Structure 1
């Protein structure tokens, strides 16, 4: 986006005289309606910070920010505040690949091994037949979230080389190209394909081929300096005391392995420019990425089962995944969209191409339900303005559904858990190895037993006993606690360890169920 366009967007924002909000300056009924939607969402979900932008018929008609980059800091969210856009990074990765296709450096049907000869999946036939396009549609056979423990929690020591090597050991959850199961690892592989085809690192290519041509001047990927760039939102969790910043950035923000899948940060101004590039591309933008590639990226390539909520609220009949985009029909209109989720950071970008309209928002707090509700109300502004359902109507509906679901789930009561005694666990202590995750240790420490992961320092915790079972309670409260199920050595095979989430509905990226540890050594003093 050119500087003039950025200034026009910024001019829509009026600072509201507090540390907590800025509102669009144009006072008209539609602006007031958007303000109420945002205000109601912030109030209902006690959000620490948010940035929202709306496009109608190709024009930015509403920009709104509220809250703080860090709760209690007094540093206001602005349209230039950087947020983690998480999986909205995927569409930027596929646009980079589309650029390379336009340049003749890559073809969608090329085998992955043409660019990465070391690439292996669990099944040799799948390895040989995996195309570049297959990396992008979540239909590879990987179980949902398979291998995500090599990406998150961050920081960790897993490299993209580790991921490419580890894929061969992750057992498939279904047959190749037969169904949709969301994964992240293959987008990391796609980033490495781009690097091999483009002759530079993924980060270099993203800056050169995407950010710079589109004028996304504040989007960041790779290593950068927090203070030099400035205005960076931090993630939050909510507890009894309110919003608490977590996993705050150090001054030097490192390049991260997960970048092609979910590691880009952008501000609202750049995200609106990114959205307008898809809705009302200029001649220069059509030269940047051809209409043919644009159509391919946002075309349905893999069907997704339509959730009951979509059928009820949106009267949807079909849902599909393109290359880095989801798509569905909403109230008879075509909707192209994606969400982004990282601990303490939520985002959504939604396009209605036939209307040349859409919206984007980013939140720096626990906001799963808030994102669902805000996304629904903003969508209905376009597709069903007569329905008159507000934020609280949708929020109440979600709470009723959650209560009904909770009544039928089996999340255990952990109030009686206690630290396991080292003596009682003596049979099972030692070091264990999984072929893709690597080594962990379960070793005595001051009378209890500690779990530590060699390449993932955030996965450290105390082994607890709950009834007849053992679990690990992580030091980091943002991680999902996990059952530890030991199996005795037999028939010459070593002791084995399997893991599973305590919360059966926990985030799929905590893919403990895909781990298969074998005892490989003793604890060392």
Structure 2
């Protein structure tokens, strides 16, 4: 029996964090969740609960899937009750049939409007597998090939190494194996720079070994998508609509923030302050829209999952070439090496996290997360023609991954073998905390050296990557200005020529440091901004 529409009306910047939650979202039916813990520097596995081993699972049956669907209402409501996440929407498809479309909770806390199957959510990084589907359609039409060098379609594109620039392909950037560092360019987006500025600045980023290392990059993938659109003679936003959203009738799906904003039935983003969820921020991800800027509903996403599970066919029509789509499902790079003798290797395909369960079944998944207030997940077992998508309007606390994993676990075993919300939530917290400064700037040294006169620090400083910085005195305070919109950050004295400032935006990490290097004339010659210097690009020189 169909259960469609029966309902009443901090950043995760590290690749380890996003890869981790995506891997967990499919691990419930394998009994090997302990092997999916990501890089130890980001997550301490010794602090995690032990997951009991499980026997190899039996084959899924429709009856077992129906039982899991019947329990989904309770799973969702339990997760919402325990976390307070305001709104959730869930869709399930099996064997080209939509089994479940349902919304829960509020689109905005304190305002009228219940979440339903047609509520538009921001997808965050679930945009990536959607975008790889668009490119697969272009590959099938012979507009591009996955192995095309990016420079073939974007002649102005460049990375730091000339040889890599000439050889890096669309597939390299969609699988995060170009050598670009983790989340290259994201901090430029936080400062207000647009897509063209950020993509042009990728040439300054240091490179790891080409095709031998994995690092999750929103703007690397974005560059590849834009190159495909350029080859097609159009914009990415139009290409997505022409190749995918239009043919599938995904009428509420868009790759433009403006369309999300003007939707009447949309879920706004929420963050948690203390015990309260608040609609405090707006996240415009147009700069990286192929990687994180799409928006959709669970009704539309169910159509997309049917296409994925139908080898590119939708309602009898071959919308996307099957071979081009299959390429997105293959492992292209190791993303999660095993961290234990019995551990399981995680892979990344083209816009997908790729893994295999105890029966050798291909498992595809991806999570999306905006620290400013959204968390999403899609997980599919192609051999079973089974998929689930979960969209939420709350900052990432593990809800979409827990719902997806509990559903798959229940379909396999009759009930969850692990309390997945308790398991996944702490992993996300630990991963997010790993990006914070090692210095506690709220506690200056007991014998802190005094600051110099403001005139020693004020002035304009240049940086080829981040653009100019201006430091000025405003009353009793020093103020640092950065970015095209001249965002202002108050500098608080910490020790000697070191100050602190509070980071802002999607990638905020609390307080970070600003250290001036003063010359023999008593004036600062350089200034290093700690949070901007992860890749060695955060030093500004006085003009």
TM range (shorter): 0.7 to 0.9
Structure 1 unmatched ranges of 5 or more: 1-7, 17-27, 502-509
State the partner residue of 1:67. 105
Q: Is the 8 A contact 1:499 1:512 kept in 2?
A: no
Q: Is the 8 A contact 1:111 1:131 kept in 2?
A: yes
Distance 1:274 1:303, change over 3 A: same
Q: SS of the residue aligned with 1:362?
A: strand
Q: SS of the residue aligned with 1:186?
A: helix
State the partner residue of 1:336. 364
State the partner residue of 1:34. 72
1:434 CA displacement:
2.2
What do residues 285-330 of structure 1 show as CA deviations (whole Å, max 9, x unaligned)? 662111111111111111112465xx79xx8622111111111123
Q: SS of the residue aligned with 2:492?
A: strand
1:269 CA displacement:
0.6
State the partner residue of 1:347. 376
Q: Is the 8 A contact 2:257 2:294 kept in 1?
A: no
Q: Return the alpha-carbon distance in structure 2 between the equivalents of residues 74 and 321 of structure 1.
A: 40
Distance 1:9 1:263, change over 3 A: farther
Q: Return the alpha-carbon distance in structure 1 between the equivalents of residues 105 and 346 of structure 2.
A: 34
Q: Return the alpha-carbon distance in structure 2 between the equivalents of residues 180 and 404 of structure 1.
A: 17
Relative contact order (C-alpha < 8 Å, sep 6+): which is higher? 2
What do residues 3-31 of structure 1 show as CA deviations (whole Å, max 9, x unaligned)? xxxxx989432316xxxxxxxxxxx8645
Matched, 1:464 2:492: yes
Q: SS of the residue aligned with 1:366?
A: coil
Q: 1:269 aligns with which of 283, 290, 299?
A: 299
Q: Return the alpha-carbon distance in structure 2 between the equivalents of residues 260 and 269 of structure 1.
A: 20
State the partner residue of 2:172. 134
Q: Return the alpha-carbon distance in structure 2 between the equivalents of residues 205 and 293 of structure 1.
A: 17
- Runs of 4+ in structure 1 over 6 Å off: 400-407, 475-478
State the partner residue of 2:156. 118
Q: Is the 8 A contact 2:451 2:493 kept in 1?
A: no
Distance 1:317 1:226, change over 3 A: closer
What do residues 129-176 of structure 1 show as CA deviations (whole Å, max 9, x unaligned)? 1122212111111111111123336xx2x233212321111122x211
Structure 2 unmatched ranges of 5 or more: 10-65
Q: Is the 8 A contact 1:217 1:270 kept in 2?
A: yes
Q: Return the alpha-carbon distance in structure 2 between the equivalents of residues 134 and 340 of structure 1.
A: 21
1:335 CA displacement:
0.9
Calculate the TM-score normalised by the size of structure 2. 0.79
1:90 CA displacement:
1.4
Q: 2:514 aligns with which of 450, 473, 484?
A: 484
State the partner residue of 2:277. 243
Aligned pair count?
477
State the partner residue of 1:303. 334
1:108 CA displacement:
1.9
Q: Residues 49-448 of structure 1: matches in 2 within 5 Å?
A: 49-152=87-190, 156=192, 158-172=193-207, 174-222=208-256, 224=258, 229-240=263-274, 242-248=276-282, 256-280=286-310, 282=313, 287-306=318-337, 317-332=344-359, 333-342=361-370, 343-385=372-414, 388-391=417-420, 394-395=421-422, 398-399=425-426, 411-416=438-443, 424-448=453-477
Q: SS of the residue aligned with 2:368?
A: strand
Q: SS of the residue aligned with 1:51?
A: strand
State the partner residue of 1:25. none
1:59 CA displacement:
2.6
State the partner residue of 1:506. none
Q: Say which is worse superposed, 377-386 or 119-128, in terms of deviation.
A: 377-386
Q: 2:528 aligns with which of 493, 498, 508?
A: 498
What do residues 183-216 of structure 1 show as CA deviations (whole Å, max 9, x unaligned)? 1111221122122110111111111111101111
Q: Is the 8 A contact 2:7 2:103 kept in 1?
A: no
Q: SS of the residue aligned with 1:164?
A: helix
Q: Is the 8 A contact 1:190 1:260 kept in 2?
A: no
Q: Is the 8 A contact 2:125 2:292 kept in 1?
A: yes
Distance 1:205 1:412, change over 3 A: same
State the partner residue of 2:59. none
Matched, 1:518 2:511: no
What do residues 29-82 of structure 1 show as CA deviations (whole Å, max 9, x unaligned)? 645521221111111111011111222344322233212111111211111111
Q: Return the alpha-carbon distance in structure 2 between the equivalents of residues 261 and 403 of structure 1.
A: 24
Q: SS of the residue aligned with 1:14?
A: coil
Q: Is the 8 A contact 2:4 2:99 kept in 1?
A: no
Calculate the TM-score normalised by the size of structure 1. 0.81
